[in-house]
Amino acid sequence: MAKVVIVGDGPGGLSAALFLAKNGHDVTVYGQDKTAMHYAHVYNYLGLPEIAGTEFQRIAREQVTGFGARIVEDEVTSVGVDNGITVTTEGGMDHADYLILTEGKNPVLAASLGLVDTEGAGVPVDSAYRSKLDRVYVVGRSVRPTRSQAIISAGAGAVAAVDILAREEGKDVQDWDTPPKEP
Ligand X SMILES: Cc1cc2nc3c(=O)[nH]c(=O)nc-3n(C[C@H](O)[C@H](O)[C@H](O)COP(=O)(O)OP(=O)(O)OC[C@H]3O[C@@H](n4cnc5c(N)ncnc54)[C@H](O)[C@@H]3O)c2cc1C
Q: Summarize as ranges the residues that interact with ligand X (CB under 6 A).
A: 7-13, 30-32, 34-37, 39-40, 42, 44, 75-76, 102-104, 109, 140-141, 148-151, 153
Taking the complex as a whole, how short is the minimal distance between the CB of residue 76 and ligand X, in angstroms? 4
Q: Which is nearer to ligand X, 1 or 52 (CB)?
A: 52
CA nearest to 71, candidates 29, 35, 18, 103: 29
Phi-psi region of 129 (alpha: psi -120 to 50; beta: other; left: phi over 0): left
The dihedral over CA atoms of 23, 89, 105, 120, expressed in degrees to the nearest 10, equals -120
Taking the complex as a whole, how short is the minimal distance between the CB of residue 55 and ligand X, in angstroms? 13
Q: Which is nearer to ligand X, 30 or 129 (CB)?
A: 30
Q: Which is nearer to ligand X, 68 or 155 (CB)?
A: 155
Half-sphere exposure of residue 160, counting CA atoms within 13 Å on the CB side?
35
CA nearest to 35, candidates 92, 104, 82: 104
Taking the complex as a whole, how short is the minimal distance between the CB of residue 142 and ligand X, in angstroms? 7
Q: Which is nearer to ligand X, 146 or 178 (CB)?
A: 146
Q: Which is nearer to ligand X, 25 or 61 (CB)?
A: 61
Q: What angle do CA 39, 45, 50 make, to 5 degrees?
A: 70
- Cα separation, 30 vs 87, in Å, equals 10
